[in-house]
Structure 1
């Protein structure tokens, strides 16, 4: 009996998440999305929604937290030498984004969620700072902020342009831009 409830709970959360993302993808701002609209799209009643989430903001926060946890776990499965770390880690990040294209296009490009963007930046900074062990902490923090901010905006542009280059080429470009800021 417990397994059946867990499956039902997982299904309910899944359709609620999909419904919110679909509404955001349709161009509705989060502030304009009601619990009623989410429930109608998910074909679930409002009391069921409130058993899982307090409001659309809580639901979006839950979605973003799951993405962040999944992304960290995904990136932690890869280990590279210091020399190859930056480009390979960027490529793995871009591959993950490509696998979840609709979700990232919705949250970063269409919805332009600054909180989600900031969370992504923190993950990228953490991985980047571990790849630059020879630099002092303050310089490393500022360098990573500079590089990651630019990289996030390049990734958003890449998403907005339907990922017109494969992840490995984008990773090489981002790495090149980060290491050689003058255009050649």
Structure 2
């Protein structure tokens, strides 16, 4: 059971992160300073330095938290179960969980992935999808032993996934996580039936 001190530490960290994200959206990461974060969070700079060395460590810590949670949710996806759900015209719960994660952290994801955030974060998200999920999918394909195929398939699929995520982040007030999961299902269903258009 967490102590009162631990609860206060976590509350302060969340407060710092919240205002840090707001500053990135308002001014851009390059213009954010520890002084501005402290002023927004209504703390002194000494309190900030108890938790983070500088804004770069804060950014890295925030990103690692997001990537770890995303990886945990992606790991729950089993390709055979996902394909079976698609075949049976059913929504796959782990897909819904990923969209719920995006919805829950939309503010932070939108800020960091945005033009004024960190350009490297998109690559990190793509790496998580590639290493955890797509590697399993690609390994099921006969061409999986071809290094060039793997490289370009990774690039194609991760870019497509990130494209859906970033588009929804711009419009996430319009669709719920469940509605996005349905749209995602429709996209996968459309792709799986592409061959019927050329027969």
TM-score calculated relative to the size of structure 2: 0.76
Q: Which has the larger radius of gyration?
A: 2
- Number of residue pairs the alignment of both structures matches: 181
Q: Which moved more, 1:35-44 or 1:142-151?
A: 142-151
Gaps in structure 1 of 5+ consecutive residues: none
Cα distance in structure 2, aligned partners of 1:84 and 1:112:
38
Q: Choose from 101, 108, 112 the match for 2:106.
A: 101
CA distance in 1, matches of 2:119, 2:154: 18
Q: Aligned Cα RMSD in Å?
A: 2.8
Cα shift at 1:177:
7.0
Decide whether aligned partners of structure 1 residues 36 and 163 sit closer, same or farther in structure 2, where only a CA change above 3 A counts: same
**TM-score (normalised: structure 1):** 0.82
Look up the SS of the partner of 2:114 in the other structure.
helix
The 4+ residue runs of structure 1 with deviation greater than 4 A are: 84-91, 176-182
Q: For residues 117-170 of structure 1, give each alpha carbon's deviation from its aligned partner in whole angstroms, at most 9, with x where no partner exists.
A: 111101111211112323226222320211211221232122213354422133
- 1:113 equivalent among 115, 118, 122: 118
- 1:85–1:131 CA contact under 8 A, matched in 2: no
Say if 1:91 and 1:170, in contact at 8 Å, map to a contact too.
no
Pairing of 1:34-183 with structure 2 (within 5 A): 34-81=33-80, 83-84=83-84, 88=92, 90-109=95-114, 111-126=116-131, 127-134=133-140, 135-136=144-145, 138=147, 139-162=149-172, 164-165=174-175, 166-175=179-188
